[in-house]
Amino acid sequence: MLTDQISSELAADSNPEGLRLLPLGGLGEIGMNLMVLEYDDEIFIIDCGLMFPEPYMLGVDIVIPDISALLAEKERVKGIILTHGHEDHIGALPFILPQLKVPVYGTELTIAMVSRRLEEHQLLDQSELCVIKAGETISSNNFSIEFIPVVHSIPQGVALAITTPVGLIVHSGDFKIDYTPLDGQPTDLNRLAQLGSEGVDLLLSDSTNVESAGYSASEAEVKKAFAGLFSESSGRIIITLFSSNLNRIQEIIRLAHEQGRKVAVLGRSLHNNLLISQEIALLQIPPDTLIDIEEIKSLPANEVLVITTGSQGEPFSGLSLMASNKSKWISVEPGDTVIFSSRFIPGNEKAISHLLNRLSRLGARVLYRQIAFTHVSGHAYRDELGLLLNLVKPRHFIPIHGEYRHLDQHARLAVERGVAAEKALIVTDGDLVELDETGLRRLGRVEHGKVLIDGKGVGEIDFATLHDRRHLSHNGMVMIVVGINESTGEIVYGPEITTKGLIADENETILDEARSVVDAALAQIPLVERSDWIEVKAILRRAVKKYFRTTLNKKPIILPVIIEL
């Protein structure tokens, strides 16, 4: 049982017939979503996502949840339920699924995206992937899980209605309320209201946009705005957006076709997602509209539209290469219109600002969310979250998917909409909570954390390594090479000193003084003691560290190398 992994006095009050919930990611941060549900001998996992590294995580590619708490219980894990195909909900699967070896359930597009990622990791053949349509239900001994269609910025997102022996749980997934979605599949408010009438014991709801007042705009409004922007553009149109926003990509292609433009796609993720969508017949692309990127040079500017990666200012993305005149396919020119059709993710503002400036200097008309209607969010705003609360009428409430301030604001909103204050519980990663006939309560904290993925290494990078990397980035490194005769202890080579990231290579004065420091330190060591390499290295490290701290006010990493001769 998960309760066996906590050392809390509250755990003694755990009800063996209660439902336990344990978030291991996504509550207290944006991304890395993973929620565990346990009842009796069964465990289900909702979502299995990653997050991208913080700036201080030098060299780290992605971050995934630590599932150590689950590994002792993995024989009881019955499956992983995916709410949609974004990386913060599916991206950890290639690293976590091999440890659990359980079925994965999701809608057709979600499973298609998972298949591509597992194939890239040579895991597809050993994985059990199950396509579930919106409206369908899967069942086990203790759980019945219904997939309810919701609107999000990627097609085929779902909320979940989870029937358990202790009551009905609704998990919103990532959602918004859009009455005119581009794919004609709105959030099923009727079904959610019906569940509310039947009695919902616990609502878990997306908190991402709780700070945004009112209602989010409809995707149909972006389509209308694009029609106007396209018609007034006489040159090439270049659009950058998230590659998973397939409904918007569909409308961009359709509008381009209506206005006589050919469409070229630039960027690996865009190509992959278009291919996946065409394989499952999700996109309807007019004949002769898509062309290869190399064909655009032969077309008049007013007949070209390019969809590219790079909305977050990524250095080697298609748009960044265009802005730097390093793209072999296209250079931005006066008369071109560049449209940023995505939000600026916090932390990327500076890179995006540089990209906007470079594109503007090249003479392009650059449009983005702050000055033109180019994007709407895929997450519900505050009044939409309130509407869901009104429809579902939950007895208990846990806000999910957000930083702590988002969770706090969402819990306050739930109280405003009728949930008793003591029944609106703010939970963060590692909090084990239990629901039974007496209510919802905390049981204690379970060991949890983050696993850092560096290249193909899983968990090989720890925070001590990150500390060293940050140290190197700020202070540099000094390597000292000395050859010592093993028998006599005489210095027969060196000392040679090289530095990286500390001083200019041509600064011979500093290097000469450092060599003198090493010579002096070696001279203080009796010949008979120079065979103790550990002690010699320690003496050299202390001497050189003191020199650079005194001379340059720097604390470089010192690496003495002793060669036995």
Residue range 421-426: average pLDDT?
97
> Which of 96-100, 118-122, 435-439, 507-511 is predicted with the least confidence, judged by mean pLDDT?
507-511
Please give the tally of structural domains in the chain. 3
Burial pattern 179-207, b for ≥16 Cβ within 10 A else e, equals eebbeebbbbeebbeebbeeebbbbbbbb
Q: Is residue 3 part of a domain?
A: no
pLDDT at 407 over 70: yes
Q: pTM of the entire structure?
A: 0.82
Render pLDDT for 314-326 as a digit per residue (tens, 0 to 9).
888 999 999 988 8
Model confidence at 466: pLDDT above 60: no
Q: Are 65 and 451 in contact (CB under 8 A)?
A: yes
Domain membership flag for residue 2:
no
pLDDT, residue 141, reads: 96
The pLDDT, as a whole number, for residue 537 is 84
The β-bridge relationship of strands 365-367 and 457-461 is: unpaired
**286 DSSP assignment:** P
Structure tokens at 29: 């941060």
Last residue of one domain, picked from the residues 343, 367, 391: 367
What pLDDT is stored for residue 534 in this prediction?
80
Residue 169 has pLDDT above 80, yes or no: yes
User: For the segment 30-42, what is each residue's pLDDT rounded down to a tens digit?
Assistant: 999 999 999 999 9
Q: What's the rounded mean pLDDT across residues 87-93?
A: 96
Question: What CATH number is attached to the domain comprising 388?
Answer: 3.60.15.10
**In this structure, are residues 342 and 245 in contact, taking their beta carbons and an 8 Å threshold?**
yes
For residue 437, is pLDDT > 70?
Answer: yes
Together in a domain, 160 and 99: yes
Q: Which of 455, 470, 491 marks a domain boundary?
A: 455
Residues 144 and 52 in one domain: yes
Q: Which of 43-47, 133-137, 335-339, 500-504 has the lowest mean pLDDT?
A: 500-504
78 pLDDT above the threshold of 70? yes
CATH number for 248 = 3.40.50.10710
Domain of residue 284: give its range. Answer: 219-367
Residues 449 and 468 in one domain: no
**24 with 145, same domain?**
yes
Tell whether 29 and 178 lie within a shared domain.
yes
User: How many whole angstroms separate alpha carbon 154 and alpha carbon 241?
Assistant: 12
Average pLDDT over the chain, rounded to an integer: 90
Question: Are residues 491 and 359 located together in one domain of the fold?
Answer: no
Stretch 397-422: mean pLDDT: 97
Looking at 455, 481, 505, which one is the last position of a domain? Answer: 455
Q: Is the dihedral of CA 91, 97, 100, 106 positive or negative?
A: positive
Instruction: Between 140 and 13, name the one with better pLDDT.
Output: 140
Is residue 35 one of the residues assigned to a domain? Answer: yes
Any idea what the CATH number is for the domain that residue 466 is in?
3.10.20.580
Angle between helices 404-416 and 382-392 (to 10 degrees): 50
Identify the pLDDT of residue 454: 67
Res 196: pLDDT: 98
Report if residue 1 sits inside a domain.
no
Name the E strands within 165-313.
167-171, 202-206, 237-240, 262-266, 290-291, 304-308
**Is residue 506 pLDDT above 60, yes or no?**
no
Distance from C-alpha of 466 to C-alpha of 488, rounded to nearest angstrom: 40
The verdict on 30 and 166 lying in the same domain is yes
The answer, yes or no, to whether residue 457 has pLDDT greater than 90, is: no
